Amino acid sequence: MTVSYGRYKKYHPWLYQPRHPILWWIKKWAYVRFILRETTSLAVMFYAVVLVLYVNAVSKGPEAFAAFSEWLASPLSISLHSVAFLFAVFHSYTWFNLAPKAMVVRVGTKKVPESVILGANYAMWAGVSIVLFWILTTI
């Protein structure tokens, strides 16, 4: 004998499960921020590609190097770099702020406070930037 439960099957409820919307991230600023943090990594990629092309130009000789340097100074390149720089800074800034979540450092039994870990990260960033700046301007 079969028992009818209408549209229900016994112990198997009729579940409603909508598809996750493609534009899920638009609804909340926190999600928009996340998408921005992830997509701004493309700016980092842009820098990597420019560096590879630059090295390639160097290997091809003085003319190619001069042509590439000229392109770098063009308004298009400068505007691209300005946007990429802003994106890369946003990308680095958002990731640096998340560092203390992953790094839990202990000295003895005491936990190193988040502000110290954050500060150390920023100090290292500044230090590396200064060293690079020095190398680029003096050599």
Partner 1 sequence: MTETDTHTTIEEVATIELEVFRYQPEKASAPSFDTFTVPLYDEWVILDALNHIKDELDGSLSYRWSCRMGVCGSCGMMANGDAVLTCAAFLKDYAPGPIRIEPLANFPVARDLIIGMDDFMEKLNRVKPWVVNENGKSLEEGEYLQTPAELDDFKQYTMCINCMLCYSACPIYGMEPEFVGPAVIALAQRYNLDLRDHGNEERMDILSADDGIWQCTFVGECSEVCPKHVDPAGAIQRYKVEATNSWWKSKLMPWGK
Residues that bind partner 1 (CB under 8 A): 6-8, 13-17, 20, 24-25, 27-28, 30-31, 34, 38, 98, 101-104, 109, 111
Q: Which is nearer to partner 1, 13 or 113 (CB)?
A: 13
Rounded to whole angstroms, the maximal C-alpha distance in the chain is 91
Dihedral-angle region of residue 108 (phi above 0 means left; psi in -120 to 50 means alpha; beta otherwise): left
Between residues 25 and 65, which has the closer beta carbon with respect to partner 1? 25
Distance of closest approach, residue 26 Cβ to partner 1, in angstroms: 11
Q: Which of 56, 73, 74 is CA-nearest to residue 65? A: 56
Residue 122 Cβ vs partner 1, minimum distance, rounded to whole Å: 19
Give the span between the Cα atoms of 92 and 78, in whole angstroms: 21
